Amino acid sequence: MGEPLRIGMVGAGKISGAYLSTFERLPGIRLTAVTDLDRGRAETAAAAAGADVAVVPTVADLVARDDVDAVLNLTVPAVHAEVALAALRAGKHVYGEKPLAADREEAEAVLEAARERGLRVGCAPDTVLGTGTQAARKAVDDGLIGTPVAATAFMTTAGHEAWHPDPEFYYRPGGGPLLDMGPYYLSALVHLLGPVVRVTGASARPRAEREIGSGPRAGQRFPVEVDTHVTGILEHAGGALSTLVMSFDIRAARLPRIEVHGTAASLSVPDPNGFDGLVEIHRGDGWEALPVSAGYPGGGRGTGLADLADALAEGRPHRASAELAAHVLDVMLTLMDAAGQGTALSVKSTCERPAPVESAGS
């Protein structure tokens, strides 16, 4: 193995802790610098890394450093593209949290900047590279369910304000249940069934305000600026139809996370917001568990960044790609357009299904 990919992290908020805990067991990457609008948070993150990590004042300072090969972009969605473009223009690879950008134009600008400079851009979610989604994909690819006919994907919660101390960005443009959680489910569906060619949707905004439920600002109210319940039908290029429900308005439910139904069997797929979980198949005589047969074992946030580092060294495409993320973003935005217009709309973008993680750790 060569030298690890040196990482500069932009944003040291809540999600950064999950990445830092994964970095400890990923020899292919090494954190070298961190910046945040709140210097105290950056210092805390640097100390948690347990290494000689520099704390720098601005994004411009971080992307200019010689000891940064790639930028980990953990900022809020509204500035994902801005930070990514700054990194790319400085000659750095980028891996970011989802969504790739706030709109299609920003996403295309990021892709074009990377193409022009021969740089890599990766994007969460990387949960779909874990053993849960990958074992389910192997079952589909191996023909265990026959020809895929339909899928369902459900993400239901009462809202993130119950646990997040600063939840407003979830309810501003660029947020909402679809753009926040949809990337997990749609990325999984593309891995399982391929790209989406047409969508139909509907959406609603039952409450004009929300109340912060935890932290020092508990009890404060804030406006809701986006629809918080979205449902849609997705038509995949291979012919399968997926039914999607993403909601911040459901108190409790007994819905499955993802199911895929074929001409020979049905498949129960674990929560794509996690890396592992039980995959079960029903061939007509009850549910049975499938073995862990594919995917990165013991995955955590940052597995996709490690896959990008390995892909650079091996000269292959990385799996948590910007092209997949741009297609997922386009599907979500087209679904919201279809909901607003009350019609079905074609999805203009497409992407290749990422290469499977064929066996644990490969």
Q: How far apart are CA 317 and CA 137, in angstroms?
A: 19
Q: How far apart are CA 45 and CA 12, in angstroms?
A: 6
| Residue 75 and residue 167 in one domain | no
| Residue 135 and residue 203 in one domain | yes
For the residues 151-155, what does the mean pLDDT come to?
Answer: 98
Total domain count, the chain: 2
Predicted confidence band at 360 (pLDDT cuts at 50, 70, 90)? low
Is the entire prediction scored with pTM above 0.75? yes
Is residue 306 one of the residues assigned to a domain? no
Is 138 among the catalytic positions?
Answer: no
Is residue 351 one of the residues assigned to a domain? no
Q: How far apart are CA 334 and CA 297, in angstroms?
A: 34
| Residue 190 and residue 273 in one domain | yes
92, 123, 154 — which closes off a domain? 123
Q: How far apart are CA 161 and CA 171, in angstroms?
A: 10
Inform me whether the pLDDT recorded for 295 exceeds 80: yes
Question: CA 196 from chain center: how many Å?
Answer: 17
Which one of 14, 98, 138, 348 is the catalytic residue? 98
Note the pLDDT tens digit of each residue in 245-280: 999 999 999 999 999 999 999 999 999 999 999 999
70, 102, 123 — which closes off a domain? 123
| Residue 197 and residue 135 in one domain | yes
Residue 201 CB-half CA count within 13 A: 29
| Residue 191 and residue 236 in one domain | yes
Is residue 228 one of the residues assigned to a domain? yes
| Residue 259 and residue 189 in one domain | yes
| Residue 70 and residue 183 in one domain | no
Q: How far apart are CA 135 and CA 290, in angstroms?
A: 8
- Count CB-CB contacts under 10 A for residue 356: 18
| Residue 101 and residue 47 in one domain | yes
Is residue 112 one of the residues assigned to a domain? yes
Write the CATH number for 102: 3.40.50.720
66, 90, 123 — which closes off a domain? 123
Predicted confidence band at 76 (pLDDT cuts at 50, 70, 90)? confident
Q: Are 127 and 22 in contact (CB under 8 A)?
A: no
Q: Are 275 and 127 in contact (CB under 8 A)?
A: yes
User: What is the structure's pLDDT at 358?
Assistant: 84
- Sheet of 280-282, strand order: 287-289, 280-282, 266-269, 258-262, 148-156, 241-247, 229-236, 196-204, 344-346
| Residue 181 and residue 279 in one domain | yes
Write the CATH number for 277: 3.30.360.10
| Residue 142 and residue 290 in one domain | yes
Q: How far apart are CA 100 and CA 103, in angstroms?
A: 9
3-state helix, strand, coil in the chain (%, to 5): 35, 25, 45
User: What is the structure's pLDDT at 1?
Assistant: 53
| Residue 119 and residue 254 in one domain | no
Q: How far apart are CA 176 and CA 71, in angstroms?
A: 26
User: What is the structure's pLDDT at 175?
Assistant: 86
| Residue 152 and residue 17 in one domain | no
User: What is the structure's pLDDT at 84?
Assistant: 98
Q: What is the domain range of residue 30?
A: 5-123
